[in-house]
């Protein structure tokens, strides 16, 4: 048909008869007649539309990479095209991506990764022997001695052994079994997988998942995707975002009227709120989970990020075991860690693990089956996780440099946490709780009545309106508190403390100047 149409277009030039006795011009005429009889079909309706797509996927929202970030990308393109703005760059303070904000990688980690990726370097004198030793161990456990091979679905066995040894050291001798360790594609993959296997039922028996408000939006997104029921419990902002068991009881009691609450999620240290739970709080939560027969999820990816001298990270696993066998033998607990946070900041490797204890043996088989569908987590991410849990020790060649770099990163983060808290609290209309841990500030902002009206006119949440104006006038990209959840009538934003100190000071000063002008404009 296409050839016939082409002949029609060229038909003014008669050609000699073809082998069947017809001229090409007459063939073109016939083709033209066929085209008139068979007009081009109109485009059929799309199979996949907003109306026909999976409604659970459509319900998913992820504020950390939501509308405000899309707008930031548009502004960056405009700056590249030479469009004038009141600023010269967009500062992406919306996400905890340490190395994107200038944090340098830990040398030892990158040395081992280089050796694993290109084993010919194992003969190079430029690499320390302790890095080579770890790389050889990892490679020997990989199929074909290559990081490019698949691993077992649960992860490379020797890396799971190293994770178990790390947990035992971290928790003061509380034993960890490698068979309870599952290597994951970042902590997010583990959290999604466990929730997937927990959610069941329908109507009033549909699984309810208790999450803190404010929360990390991964939780609400996965709950929406799985069509589970989100059960909010509110952290106490007036008490440094503390978790109150009476609030857990209220949330559970109300949820039982319309769903079956089975899961309790804890983020410690908190994201976006930065609080670090004390031992009494952890004990109360474990007792509550035991009493109410709830499956505990402990998101502990910021366990290395504790800055307040009055705070100390204690894992839920450690406290659970120290509460005695009545708890340690019965409470089902999944805890999560990652290469992305801490002092490492290796977000792109997507390395992580989960430890799941007191899981029914038959459910363990189902979990491995579910994990096998995605074959295995990235083996490079598994290797990166191994280096995090098996760092240089005293007496090894790389120990001093590793310790110096680690302490430098964490020390700088502690200084920036204090700087951010202090500067925000000097601004009229902004209040920031102490940043005890993690990587973010979550200040409360006062938004005047006229600004609330303007936000409503733009069909935006008030803090989205505020953050959009901040982006458009200063180039600073933060995430509105409404994306994390907050008490009715309160407004916040989340901002990372990761930029270098001088840039962070600039960011904070710009936020201060903007906020004062905002209050004046909408007074």
Q: What is the pLDDT of residue 44?
A: 79
Write out pLDDT tens, residues 404-462.
999 999 999 999 999 999 999 999 999 999 999 999 999 999 999 999 999 999 998 99
Q: What is the CATH number of domain 155-375?
A: 3.40.640.10
Euclidean distance between CA atoms 80 and 62, whole angstroms: 27
User: pLDDT above 70 covers what percent of the chain?
Assistant: 91
Euclidean distance between CA atoms 438 and 47, whole angstroms: 44
Q: Which of 31-40, 46-55, 118-127, 217-226 has the lowest mean pLDDT?
A: 31-40
Q: What is the pLDDT of residue 351?
A: 95
Query: Domain locations in the chain?
Result: 2-53, 63-101+409-521, 155-375
Closest CA to 303 of 264, 350, 271: 271
Q: Which residue stretches of 118-156 are H helix?
A: 129-140
Indicate whether 170 pLDDT > 90. Answer: yes
Judge if 63-101+409-521 and 155-375 fold alike in CATH terms.
no
Write out pLDDT tens, residues 111-152.
999 999 999 999 999 999 999 999 999 999 999 999 999 998
Q: At 19, is the pLDDT very low, low, confident or very high (cuts 50, 70, 90)?
A: very low
Closest CA to 180 of 4, 341, 328, 24: 328
- Determine the average pLDDT of the residues in 43-65: 74
Q: Which residues contact 237 (CB under 8 A, 6 or more apart)?
A: 433, 444, 487, 490
Q: Give buried/exposed letters for 452-473 (b at 16+ CB in 10 A, else e).
A: eebbeeeebbbbbbbbbbbbeb
Q: Which residue stretches of 153-278 are H helix?
A: 157-170, 186-198, 218-225, 245-255
Q: What is the pLDDT of residue 126?
A: 94
Q: What is the pLDDT of residue 9?
A: 45
Q: Give Cα 410 distance to the centre of its chain.
A: 20
Q: What is the pLDDT of residue 49?
A: 78
DSSP state letters, 66-81: SHHHHHHHHHHHHHHT
Write out pLDDT tens, residues 143-158.
999 999 999 888 999 9
Q: Which CATH number fits domain 63-101+409-521: 3.90.1150.10, 3.90.550.10, 3.40.50.150, 3.40.50.2000?
A: 3.90.1150.10
Write out pLDDT tens, residues 377-407.
999 999 999 999 999 999 999 999 999 999 9
Euclidean distance between CA atoms 416 and 500, whole angstroms: 9
Q: What is the pLDDT of residue 38?
A: 59
Which two structure tokens, joined as six digits, stand for 17?
A: 């008869």
Strands 493-496 and 440-441, by their bridges, are: antiparallel
Euclidean distance between CA atoms 403 and 310, whole angstroms: 23
Which two structure tokens, joined as six digits, stand for 234?
A: 């509110």
54 touches 63 (CB < 8 A): no
295 touches 264 (CB < 8 A): yes
Q: What is the pLDDT of residue 40?
A: 58
Give the position of tokens 């994306």.
483
């Amino acid at each position: 048909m296409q050839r016939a149409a082409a002949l029609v277009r060229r038909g003014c030039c008669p050609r000699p008869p073809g082998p069947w006795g017809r001229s090409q011009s007459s063939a073109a005429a016939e083709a033209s007649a066929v085209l008139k009889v068979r007009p081009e079909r109109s485009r059929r309706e799309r199979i996949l539309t907003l109306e026909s797509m999976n409604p659970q996927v459509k319900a998913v929202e992820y504020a950390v990479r939501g509308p405000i970030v899309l707008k930031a990308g548009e502004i960056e393109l405009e700056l590249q095209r030479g469009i004038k703005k009141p600023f010269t760059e967009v500062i992406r303070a919306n996400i905890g991506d340490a190395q994107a904000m200038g944090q340098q990688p830990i040398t030892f980690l990158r040395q081992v990764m280089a050796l694993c990726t290109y084993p010919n370097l194992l003969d190079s004198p430029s690499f320390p022997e302790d890095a080579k030793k770890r790389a050889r161990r990892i490679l020997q456990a990989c199929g074909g001695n290559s990081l490019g091979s698949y691993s077992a679905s649960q992860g490379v066995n020797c890396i799971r052994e190293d994770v178990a040894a790390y947990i035992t050291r971290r928790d003061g001798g509380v034993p960890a079994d490698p068979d309870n360790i599952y290597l994951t594609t970042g902590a997010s993959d583990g959290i999604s997988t466990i929730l997937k296997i927990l959610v069941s039922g329908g109507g009033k028996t549909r699984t309810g998942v208790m999450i803190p408000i404010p929360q990390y939006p991964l939780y609400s997104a996965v709950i929406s995707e799985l069509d589970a029921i989100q059960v909010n419990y509110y952290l106490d902002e007036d008490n440094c975002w503390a978790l109150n068991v009476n609030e857990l009881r209220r949330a559970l009691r109300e949820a039982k009227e319309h769903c079956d609450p089975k899961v309790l999620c804890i983020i410690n240290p908190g994201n976006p709120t930065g609080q670090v739970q004390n031992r009494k709080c952890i004990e109360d939560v474990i007792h509550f989970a035991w009493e109410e027969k709830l499956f505990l999820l402990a998101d502990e990816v910021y366990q290395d990020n504790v800055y307040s001298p009055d705070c100390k990270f204690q894992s839920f696993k450690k406290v659970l075991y120290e509460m005695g066998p009545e708890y340690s033998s019965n409470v089902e607990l999944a805890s999560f860690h990652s290469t992305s946070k801490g002092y490492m900041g290796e977000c792109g490797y997507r390395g992580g693990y989960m430890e799941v204890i007191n899981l029914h043996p038959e459910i363990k088989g189902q979990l491995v089956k579910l994990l096998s569908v995605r074959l295995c987590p990235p083996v490079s991410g598994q290797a990166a996780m191994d280096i995090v849990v098996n760092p240089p020790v005293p007496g090894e060649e790389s120990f001093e440099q590793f310790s110096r770099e680690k302490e430098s990163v964490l020390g700088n983060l502690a200084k920036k946490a204090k700087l951010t808290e202090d500067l925000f609290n000097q601004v009229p209309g902004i209040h920031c709780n102490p940043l005890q841990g993690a990587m973010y500030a979550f200040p409360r902002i006062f938004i005047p009545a006229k600004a609330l009206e303007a936000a409503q006119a733009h069909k935006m949440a008030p803090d989205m309106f505020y953050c959009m104006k901040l982006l458009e006038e200063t180039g600073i990209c933060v995430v509105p508190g409404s994306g994390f959840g907050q008490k009715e009538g309160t407004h916040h934003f989340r901002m990372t403390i990761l930029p270098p100190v001088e840039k962070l000071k600039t960011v904070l000063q710009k936020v201060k100047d903007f906020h004062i002008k905002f209050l004046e404009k909408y007074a």
